[in-house]
């Protein structure tokens, strides 16, 4: 496979961005749909090339394609090379990104129809996809960081797409700033690694870490720094607060962010640098604990949200926590020596990325479903929906499949990858396993709470009568159906084996007790949701009162937003640091400048007394000067 083809995968979306921005937008603005076609064509081409790359990789030795790299920067003796990596991990990610992106763009054709920023939307989407592809393909940290920031920028642009809405502008700023906190750690880690090893190359860094050349506290801190970047991008605790607010963007953007691009970047980064993490027990334990905690922490908030997209957002955070947990659990086993290094590393990546792969499809489907519902009802509040099953059968059907999949019901996609993570957690750290099991129950409950409230019962909305409800247009339904198929079958694909993980047989998976335990828990969750929200055997209201403190805690999102805003931002930054800096600026910086000026003026006030205006005094001074000069000549010659 020629390297130009791989570069084409990366460059096509960028070309699309350039064409839309510089040709279509200025000259063909009266036909905005052209920009949609260009985007779809370029990403479709990328998808085809990605499939080709995947086939090539699966046939290649060691699942790695040799790729040339190029000199990028030469600063003195420092030469920074860039290139692309095409291995199993990259190939899988390419498929995820391009396929989800393509389907989302198709859907957007319908969803964004008539929007004033249609061309801008597709330009940003192209750039977003291209940045993510670059991030996946980059073979060195500096190059990767470039695209990493590109992804952050695009998410800012797209979350704030309707920037005339103050909430959207706020959400965009929040997303950008909070991920930036993590990015700072990532950047520091990159520089730290470069200072210690003199290379940005990921492959070399992995070898150095595995060989033990790179180790000790440097490795630990670098890994934690990189992880902080991943925490920001993948919305892990404690930097998760931006993701639920990111709902202000167009729904297809949410689908893309939650499935294939933005948040996947963090998990991908940990997977890409997995050998570095696994070489430090402390770093990988951090990953596992943060992942496990985030999984259950986010799920609790998902239980009580009334905005359908917020429920989905918390479920995304929770599922990303699963992926981190999977990576962390295997990594801990490797670090402890419980697993052989090579196989263990491959297994960890396989477990984490397999879930990312499956999650991408069912989560984007859920968002597209939410968008479809919104298209019909004009709201995202599930209290104002209900009974949509009859009006929107296709949406209901695909949404149900996705919900079953995320709940981990056999034999849908979610089951297989979640199973893998649970198994690894069980073997490595039982406490995290129990957290994950509780999360399974919660996931099933909150997803089916949404399903029953949205599609079951009678329509409760006031905005328009039930006769106005309609199924979405075909251009939106087709991507949803395609995604629904993928949400069923993606777990059957041998992705895990391809990445070097364990294979599983279709029915053999049901033989173990773990699988049954999680299935029973998921089933219980669904049953409970059915009992409360469909049959109303239990009153949601009385439950809420019974668990009032918990309900308040969850629905107020643990007061983390308030903590960040009131305490960190207002108290520490605005009143503390900024006030101190302001004082420093006023008194020290300005003080020095004003002091010099005032000193000069004061000195002038004194010295000008010498300027008497008396000619004879000046003459006297001249002759004293001559005497001094003569004296000096005598003394020093």
Q: Does 576 bind other proteins (CB under 8 A)?
A: no
Residue given tokens 């984490």 in the structure block:
352
**Residue ranges of the alpha helices (H) in 303-429?**
308-336, 341-377, 388-391, 393-407, 413-428
For other proteins, the closer of residues 74 and 622 by Cβ is 622
Residue 191 C-beta: closest distance to other proteins, Å? 58
Q: How far apart are the first and last CA of the chain?
A: 85
The vertex-21 CA angle with 17 and 26, nearest 5°, equals 155
The burial of 195, by beta-carbon neighbours within 10 Å (0-12 exposed, 13-18 middle, 19 or more buried), is given as: exposed
- Tell whether residue 625 is a contact of other proteins (CB under 8 A): no
Is the Cβ of residue 573 or residue 617 nearer to other proteins in the bound state?
617
- Distance from C-alpha of 581 to C-alpha of 587, rounded to nearest angstrom: 10
| Three-state secondary structure call for residue 79 | strand
Determine if 624 is a binding residue for other proteins (CB under 8 A). yes
Task: Output the smallest distance, CB 595 to other proteins, in A.
Answer: 23
Q: Is 637 in the site for other proteins (CB under 8 A)?
A: no
Contact with other proteins (CB under 8 A): which of 217, 462, 505, 616?
616
Choose between 578 and 618: whose C-beta lies nearer to other proteins. Answer: 618
627 binds other proteins (CB under 8 A): yes
Q: Which stretch binds other proteins (CB under 8 A): 71-79, 80-88, 262-270, 607-615?
A: 607-615
Site for other proteins contains 611 (CB under 8 A): yes
Residues with Cβ < 8 Å from 490, sequence gap 6 or more?
357, 358, 361, 413
CA distance 136 to 153: 16
Q: Which is nearer to other proteins, 588 or 620 (CB)?
A: 620
Q: Which stretch binds other proteins (CB under 8 A): 68-76, 267-275, 406-414, 611-619?
A: 611-619
Q: Which helix (H) or strand (E) holds 550?
A: helix 548-555
Binder to other proteins among 623, 635, 636, 637 (CB under 8 A)? 623
Minimum distance from residue 597 beta carbon to other proteins (Å): 19
Token representation of residue 633: 């000549």
Q: Is 606 in the site for other proteins (CB under 8 A)?
A: no
Token digits for 615?
A: 């000619």
The residue within the footprint of other proteins, chosen from 75, 606, 615, 635 (CB under 8 A), is 615
Residue 609 and residue 607: Cα distance in Å, rounded?
Answer: 5
* Contacting range for other proteins; rule: CB under 8 A; set: 83-91, 336-344, 520-528, 613-621: 613-621
d(CA 328, CA 274): 9
Cα–Cα dist 423/416, whole Å: 11
- Give the shortest CB-613-to-other proteins separation in angstroms: 3
Cα dist. 352→328, 331, 421, 555, 585 in Å? 9, 11, 7, 29, 49
Stretch that binds other proteins, among 3-11, 110-118, 206-214, 603-611 (CB under 8 A): 603-611
CB of 598 to other proteins, least distance (A): 19
Least separation in angstroms between CB 617 and other proteins: 7
- Is 636 a residue that touches other proteins (CB under 8 A)? no
Coil, helix or strand for 64?
strand
Question: In this complex, which beta carbon is closest to other proteins, that of residue 75 or of residue 615?
Answer: 615
Token pair of 73 as six digits: 């920067």
Site size toward other proteins, by CB under 8 A:
16
Interface pick for other proteins out of 462, 542, 614, 637 (rule CB under 8 A): 614
153 by DSSP, 3-state: which? helix
Q: Does 630 bind other proteins (CB under 8 A)?
A: yes
Contact assessment for residue 386 and residue 453, using Cβ atoms and an 8 Å cutoff: yes
| Binding span for other proteins by CB under 8 A among 90-98, 390-398, 557-565, 622-630 | 622-630
What is d(CA 209, CA 280) in angstroms, rounded to the nearest whole number?
9
Residue among 613, 635, 636, 637 that touches other proteins (CB under 8 A): 613
User: What SS3 state is found at 234?
Assistant: coil
Q: Closer to other proteins at the Cβ: 597 or 617? A: 617
Interface positions with other proteins (CB under 8 A): 608-609, 611-617, 619-620, 623-624, 626-627, 630
């Amino acid at each position: 496979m020629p390297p130009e083809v791989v570069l084409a995968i990366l460059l096509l979306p960028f070309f699309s961005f350039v064409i839309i921005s510089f040709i279509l937008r200025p000259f063909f603005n009266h036909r905005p749909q052209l920009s949609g076609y260009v985007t779809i064509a370029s990403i479709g081409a990328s998808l085809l090339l990605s499939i080709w790359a995947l086939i090539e990789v699966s046939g290649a030795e060691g699942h790695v394609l040799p790729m040339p790299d190029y000199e990028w920067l030469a600063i003195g003796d420092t030469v920074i090379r860039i290139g692309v990596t095409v291995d199993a991990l990259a190939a899988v990610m390419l498929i995820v990104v391009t396929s989800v992106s393509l389907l989302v763009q198709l859907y957007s054709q319908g969803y964004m129809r008539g929007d004033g920023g249609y061309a801008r939307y597709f330009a940003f989407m192209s750039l977003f996809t291209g940045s993510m592809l670059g991030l996946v393909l980059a073979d060195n940290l500096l190059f990767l960081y470039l695209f990493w920031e590109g992804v952050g920028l695009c998410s800012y642009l797209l979350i704030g797409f309707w920037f005339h809405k103050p909430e959207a502008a706020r959400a965009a700023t929040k997303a950008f700033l909070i991920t930036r906190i993590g990015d700072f750690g990532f950047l520091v880690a990159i520089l730290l690694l470069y200072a210690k090893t003199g290379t940005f190359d990921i492959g070399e860094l992995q070898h150095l870490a595995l060989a033990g050349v790179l180790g000790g506290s440097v490795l630990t801190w670098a890994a934690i720094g990189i992880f902080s970047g991943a925490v920001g991008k993948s919305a892990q605790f404690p930097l998760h607060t931006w993701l639920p607010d990111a709902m202000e963007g167009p729904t297809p953007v949410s689908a893309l962010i939650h499935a294939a691009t933005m948040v996947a970047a963090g998990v991908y980064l940990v997977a890409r640098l997995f050998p570095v993490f696994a070489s430090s027990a402390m770093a990988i334990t951090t990953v596992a604990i943060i992942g496990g905690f985030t999984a259950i922490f986010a799920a609790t908030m998902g239980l009580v949200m009334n905005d359908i997209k917020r429920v989905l957002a918390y479920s995304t955070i929770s599922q990303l926590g699963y992926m981190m947990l999977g990576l962390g659990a295997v990594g801990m086993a490797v670090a402890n020596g419980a697993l052989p290094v090579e196989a263990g590393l491959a297994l960890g990546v396989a477990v984490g990325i397999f879930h990312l792969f499956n999650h991408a499809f069912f989560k984007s489907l859920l968002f597209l479903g939410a968008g479809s519902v919104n298209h019909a009802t004009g709201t995202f509040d599930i209290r104002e929906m209900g009974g949509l099953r009859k009006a929107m059968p296709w949406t209901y059907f695909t949404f149900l499949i996705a919900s079953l999949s995320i709940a981990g019901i056999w034999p849908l996609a979610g089951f297989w990858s979640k199973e893998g993570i649970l198994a690894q957690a069980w073997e490595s750290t039982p406490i995290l396993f129990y957290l994950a099991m509780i999360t399974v129950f919660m996931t099933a409950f909150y997803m089916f709470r949404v399903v029953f409230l949205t599609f079951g019962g009678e329509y409760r909305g006031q905005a328009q009568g039930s006769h106005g409800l309609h199924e979405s247009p075909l251009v939106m339904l087709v991507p949803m159906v395609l995604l629904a198929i993928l949400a069923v079958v993606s777990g059957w694909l041998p992705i895990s084996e391809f990445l070097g993980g364990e294979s599983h047989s279709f029915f053999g998976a049901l033989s173990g007790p773990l699988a049954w335990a999680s299935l029973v828990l998921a089933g219980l969750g669904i049953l409970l949701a059915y009992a409360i929200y469909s049959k109303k055997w239990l009153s949601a209201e009385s439950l809420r009162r019974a668990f009032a403190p918990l309900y308040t805690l969850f629905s107020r999102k643990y007061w983390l937003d308030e903590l960040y805003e009131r305490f960190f931002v207002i108290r520490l930054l605005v009143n503390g640091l900024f006030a101190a800096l302001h004082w420093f600026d006023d008194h020290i910086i300005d003080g020095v400048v004003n002091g010099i000026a005032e000193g000069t003026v004061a000195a002038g006030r004194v010295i000008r007394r010498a300027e008497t205006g008396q000619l004879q005094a000046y003459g006297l001074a001249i002759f004293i000067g001559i005497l001094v000069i003569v004296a000096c000549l005598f003394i020093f010659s």
